Amino acid sequence: MAGDSIKAGAAAEPHIIVRNLTMAYGSFVVMRDLNFTVRKGDIFIIMGGSGCGKSTLLRHLIGLNEPARGEILYGDFNFTGADPVQRELLLRRFGILYQGGALWSSMTLAENVGLPLGEFTDLTPAQIREIAALKLAFVGLKGFEDYYPSQISGGMQKRAGLARAIALDPEVLFFDEPSAGLDPISSRLLDDLILEMRNSLGATIVVVTHELASIFTIGNNSIFLDADSRTMTASGDPKELLAHCTNPTVHRFLTRGAQEKELGKDGQAS
């Protein structure tokens, strides 16, 4: 089921191109000189230690933060500094799953999924509800249409968030820490869903995660952000990185620090 052999239609066509990107909050530089390309149909992993700027990079890719330097291109379209109207049109072709699901708490699941449909299509309310129910069924939430986000569990909220993200059949799907806070089985189910989305919708997928199991199961391309040097120190297929990467930080990350000596764990006193 590992999806490295399956590539959607136009394999090597670049979809997202990041050039010399520097991200900063005020004068504090988070990451500098990021250069990478995400091809169409890739499942692209942004990995790195906690707090190194993975989510910040994601926020830049979807236009919530502006780059301090450099640019982001979607195909031929220069996203950085583009006209707001053009940008909004592009944003509609994205689906984004936020860390906590970010469902609108005053709306039911069906309304959450249906909102983008109602805003950007000419469907009738009945059709919208039908499609919303279908998208919820995709993520295993059939019958939960009229629940409010507060009435379902965290894992279900994430899946409902995914249903909302795929409401408009997006070309690019972004996932921010999809498995954070989920048990191993739920997180595995979510991985399967991500693979399914790529294979069936042909979407390009960008995932921010530090979950090793997910990285190797779903990723076929990746970059590693290093907190100390404040830039990317590796890129490529995570499985190949594991086999060949010589950078000690990357290797330690991908092997859960296996080469580091074990510290004593029995420090409990009586």
Return the residue of 16, 43, 103, 241 that touches another protein, per CB under 8 A. Answer: 103
Spatial separation of the C-alpha atoms in residues 242 and 256, rounded to whole Å: 11
Site string for another protein, 139-168 (x = CB under 8 A): -------------------------x----
Return the residue of 104, 125, 134, 248 that touches another protein, per CB under 8 A. Answer: 104
Rounded to 5 degrees, φ, ψ at 94 are -100, 150
**26 is an interface residue for another protein by CB under 8 A:** no
**5 is an interface residue for another protein by CB under 8 A:** no
Site string for another protein, 47-86 (x = CB under 8 A): ------------x--xxx----------------------
Residues contacting residue 185 through CB under 8 Å, at least 6 positions apart:
none
Which of 178, 8, 203 is CA-nearest to residue 93? 203
Please report how close the Cβ of residue 104 comes to another protein at its closest, in angstroms: 5
User: Do 42 and 15 form a contact (C-beta atoms < 8 A)?
Assistant: yes
> Per CB under 8 A, which region of 8-16, 99-107, 128-136, 209-217 contacts another protein?
99-107
Please report how close the Cβ of residue 105 comes to another protein at its closest, in angstroms: 7
**100 is an interface residue for another protein by CB under 8 A:** yes
DSSP secondary structure of 5-68: S---SSTT-EEEEEEEEEEEETTEEEEEEEEEEEETT-EEEEEESTTSSHHHHHHHHTTSS--S
3-state DSSP assignment of residue 225:
strand
**98 is an interface residue for another protein by CB under 8 A:** yes
Q: CA 61, 62, 64, 69 torsion: positive or negative?
A: positive
Please report how close the Cβ of residue 92 comes to another protein at its closest, in angstroms: 5
Which spans of this chain sit near another protein (rule: CB under 8 A)?
A: 59, 62-64, 88-89, 91-92, 94, 96, 98-100, 102-106, 115-116, 119-120, 164, 263-264, 266-270
